[in-house]
């Protein structure tokens, strides 16, 4: 069984067919630079072009970097603020042949990891964190998603956790992995104190280098790297679109 997922990011928009039995991309994904400024209509046009290039006419899943409720964007991280209050489902629906299911990008990645990856068959409280420009989060209780958590914005020593512990902070300040790991550790300490998860899955580009920093963490919660890495958003979006009834 196949589905189709599109992952909208601040720098690139990626889409591909997905094998929903295996949780894998079918063939090569297509990535197109995000239009600048990242306004709704130009982004919709790119998504429409990606879907058309694969000849896909069915329902699609689309991730968005912000809080999504019933197809409407309530926040907009790393894209233009004009998205806030926009009905993204309806907007995209005018550019693609099928119907659309939109969801938060970290939630999509988490859904994929829980079904096919590091969280497979795990019960209890599982937290997925994606480290990139900011920190995205997806929370699961006995396999069920608690949507739109924004744990990147918890206060750590007087500022947003993601300001100091996101992957972008490591690059911006030219930190080595040991130094950055100490910041991630502090962020996770604060998060653990309020949440007490049973497992933390870390994703984003830095998950590929997990051996350089995950062993340095002193968290009481086991921390494991994501397995689907940068394909997780596409896979999770396609899965959500196939399993959620149209509304």
Report the 3 state secondary structure along 150-208: CHHHCEECCEEHHHHHCHHHHHHCCCCHHHHHHHHHHHHHHHHHHHCCCEEEEECHHHH
- Give pLDDT tens digits for 129-180: 999 889 999 999 999 999 999 999 999 999 999 999 999 999 999 999 999 9
* DSSP category for residue 70: T
Arithmetic mean of pLDDT, 20-33: 97
Could you tell me which residues are beta bridge partners of residue 135? 131
Whole-angstrom distance, CA of residue 89 vs CA of residue 71: 5
> What's the confidence (pLDDT) of residue 229?
84
Question: In angstroms, what is the C-alpha Rg of the chain?
Answer: 17
> What's the confidence (pLDDT) of residue 247?
57
Cis, bond preceding 45 (omega within 30 deg of 0): no
- Give pLDDT tens digits for 120-142: 999 999 999 999 889 999 999 99
Residue in this structure with the two tokens 């994904």, named with its chain if needed: 29
Give the chain's mean pLDDT.
Answer: 95
Whole-angstrom distance, CA of residue 56 vs CA of residue 102: 17
Arithmetic mean of pLDDT, 51-78: 95
CA 2 and chain centroid, separation: 20
Q: Which of 103, 106, 108 is nearest to 150 (CA)?
A: 106
> What's the confidence (pLDDT) of residue 57?
97
Whole-angstrom distance, CA of residue 19 vs CA of residue 127: 25
Q: Hey, what domains does the chain have and what are their CATH numbers?
A: 2-107+231-243 (3.30.420.40), 121-226 (3.30.420.40)
Whole-angstrom distance, CA of residue 156 vs CA of residue 170: 16
Whole-angstrom distance, CA of residue 64 vs CA of residue 73: 8
Using CB atoms within 10 A of its CB, is residue 198 exposed (0-12), middle (13-18) or buried (19+)? middle
> What's the confidence (pLDDT) of residue 241?
97
Token digits for 79?
């894209």
Arithmetic mean of pLDDT, 206-216: 94
């Amino acid at each position: 069984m196949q589905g189709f997922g599109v992952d909208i990011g601040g720098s690139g928009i990626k889409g591909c067919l997905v094998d929903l039995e295996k949780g894998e991309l079918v063939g090569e994904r297509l990535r197109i630079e995000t239009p600048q400024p990242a306004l709704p209509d130009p982004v919709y046009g790119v998504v429409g072009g990606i879907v058309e290039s694969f000849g896909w006419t069915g329902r699609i899943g689309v991730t968005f970097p912000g809080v999504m409720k019933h197809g409407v964007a309530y926040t907009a991280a790393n894209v233009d603020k004009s998205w806030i209050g926009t009905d993204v489902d309806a907007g995209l629906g005018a550019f693609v042949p099928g119907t659309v299911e939109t969801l938060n990008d970290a939630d999509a990645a988490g859904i994929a990891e829980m079904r096919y990856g590091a969280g497979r068959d795990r019960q209890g409280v599982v937290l997925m964190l994606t480290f990139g420009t900011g920190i995205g989060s997806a929370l699961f209780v006995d396999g069920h998603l608690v949507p739109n958590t924004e744990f990147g914005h918890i206060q750590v020593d007087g500022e947003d956790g993601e300001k100091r512990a996101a992957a972008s902070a490591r690059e911006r300040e030219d930190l080595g992995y040991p130094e950055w790991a100490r910041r991630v550790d502090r962020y996770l300490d604060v998060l653990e104190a309020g949440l007490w998860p049973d497992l933390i899955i870390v994703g984003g580009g830095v998950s590929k280098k997990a051996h350089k920093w995950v062993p340095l963490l002193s968290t009481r919660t086991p921390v494991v790297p994501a397995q689907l890495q940068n394909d997780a958003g596409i896979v999770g979006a396609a899965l959500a679109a196939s399993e959620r009834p149209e509304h």
